Structure 1
């Protein structure tokens, strides 16, 4: 019997599957899905429609999805960015009405009720959130982008979508130092090891799969340990780290419970007793 497609990247259940899987998996019905857009800053995606189920990944404000089913307060979706499949609260998805014009480039920032830093904050945003800017204002020398309803964000915390952002994904990752570690996290509020890789690369215009095993197979080319340099990746079973230079790595980890720097030799010795030696080294 042939292996079934990876459920993380392919939407199928006994009652329903995405149309492109017709003839590959058996299901009672097949659908193409309807487009939607994430309407909350950070939304947790789960493998099952249950709050008790752990988080697989997160979707960010302004990212688009295809919705295959919606019932009981949950939507079964596939993210357009990295094809990840799972369940999210249905209130966090809206119809695609306005195109997003800008992306948040600061690790974290605020939406204000108006264009003034003394005004009340409405919500917090993460790097990678996409927003629709309709105008701009300046207050006491600070530029603000205006959103619907007169709300505002700091202009220099954002960049226009479609234009080059940061050039070095390692520098982006380093901006998350001391950000809390969060299993399944993919934002400036909490992030895991592979989420740090994916989000940092996304901000430089590169794409990366979501999970560590996917990254170990698909990102770049394999190299030897003695070839390691800035930007290379070190993989363990279930973990990945970025080389800051030839001797130091940067990673979101469950040991310090945040994004931290660590010597490569120290990390290999510390991790080895539980997860064995690195499984490979890759140059993206």
Structure 2
């Protein structure tokens, strides 16, 4: 078993070891993982942040030592980038990275990964569960407004509904599972839309009763969610009402207070 880290802006995580396979998630810069098995071209990995499993290309990641892996995963708080886009400078090259990326062993000016020193001159958030402030959830979510929808996406240039909620909470020190159906198992259930506060999560199901969508509650019976793009719509006890089509686009299943 080996350990790895993403040193690119993002690595596509696929359902199968094939370039044409479904992208089920994205691994962002600084996120680490366990390599469970490996062939000539592909590695099957388990992400340490959310335990998600996927296939990634061997050319797109770096193996790290056990000690470095422990340093990264054992940190009580993580430095997350808070700019839409920035550049990490490492070993005489620049790597473009996106909002919500992780900066391992970062002291505010420089960091290191397995004795490779790097710098980042953009803005960061020191995210930890201890410093969680629910009032920061909505402003963080607004950073993703109008990001195009992409199944499996976790970046401001391509994101899905559960990727949005996971990334917003990540930058505020709270870990959520990758998929909406698993996020729905976290936190305290709320009975009414009127009871929900900004930052709480709303989940929506399909005709078979399966959780297939999630969004973040805003003030004024509104919700921010990824559907076509990250957008704001009205929500009531029935679900999300889309003013453009003058109809409900998603059927409300449950509401959750995460923290």
CA deviation after TM superposition for structure 1 residue 86, in Å: 1.2
Q: Does structure 1 residue 103 correspond to structure 2 residue 80?
A: yes
CA contact (8 A) 1:67 1:78 kept: yes
Partner of 1:23: none
CA deviation after TM superposition for structure 1 residue 273, in Å: 6.8
Larger Rg: 1
Indicate the larger mover: 228-237 or 62-71: 228-237
CA contact (8 A) 1:216 1:282 kept: yes
Matches within 5 A, 1:122-137: 122-131=94-103
Q: Greater strand share, 1 or 2?
A: 2
Deviations 1:141-181 (A, max 9, x none): xxx658798864324x2245769777322221111112222
Q: Does structure 1 residue 248 correspond to structure 2 residue 248?
A: no
Alpha-carbon distance between aligned partners in 2 of 1:102 and 1:129, rounded to the nearest angstrom: 8
Partner of 1:158: 124
Alpha-carbon distance between aligned partners in 2 of 1:263 and 1:102, rounded to the nearest angstrom: 33
The alignment partner of 1:263 has SS state of strand
Alpha-carbon distance between aligned partners in 1 of 2:232 and 2:48, rounded to the nearest angstrom: 32
Partner of 2:146: 178
Partner of 2:75: none
CA contact (8 A) 2:6 2:61 kept: yes
For the aligned residues, what is the CA RMSD?
3.3
Q: 1:163 to 1:127 in 2, by over 3 A?
A: farther
Deviations 1:207-229 (A, max 9, x none): 11111111112243243233222
The alignment partner of 1:278 has SS state of strand
Alpha-carbon distance between aligned partners in 2 of 1:102 and 1:59, rounded to the nearest angstrom: 16
More contact order relative to length (CA 8 Å, sep ≥ 6): 2
- The count of residues paired between Structure 1 and Structure 2 equals 236
Alpha-carbon distance between aligned partners in 2 of 1:135 and 1:231, rounded to the nearest angstrom: 29
* TM-score, with length taken from structure 2: 0.77
In structure 2, stretches of 5+ residues that fail to align are: 73-77, 206-211
Alpha-carbon distance between aligned partners in 1 of 2:15 and 2:240, rounded to the nearest angstrom: 31
CA contact (8 A) 1:35 1:64 kept: yes
Alpha-carbon distance between aligned partners in 2 of 1:179 and 1:282, rounded to the nearest angstrom: 24
Q: 1:56 aligns with which of 24, 40, 48?
A: 24
* TM-score, with length taken from structure 1: 0.71
In structure 1, stretches of 5+ residues that fail to align are: 1-32, 116-120, 137-143
Alpha-carbon distance between aligned partners in 1 of 2:24 and 2:30, rounded to the nearest angstrom: 19
The alignment partner of 1:50 has SS state of coil
CA deviation after TM superposition for structure 1 residue 84, in Å: 0.4
CA contact (8 A) 1:73 1:90 kept: yes
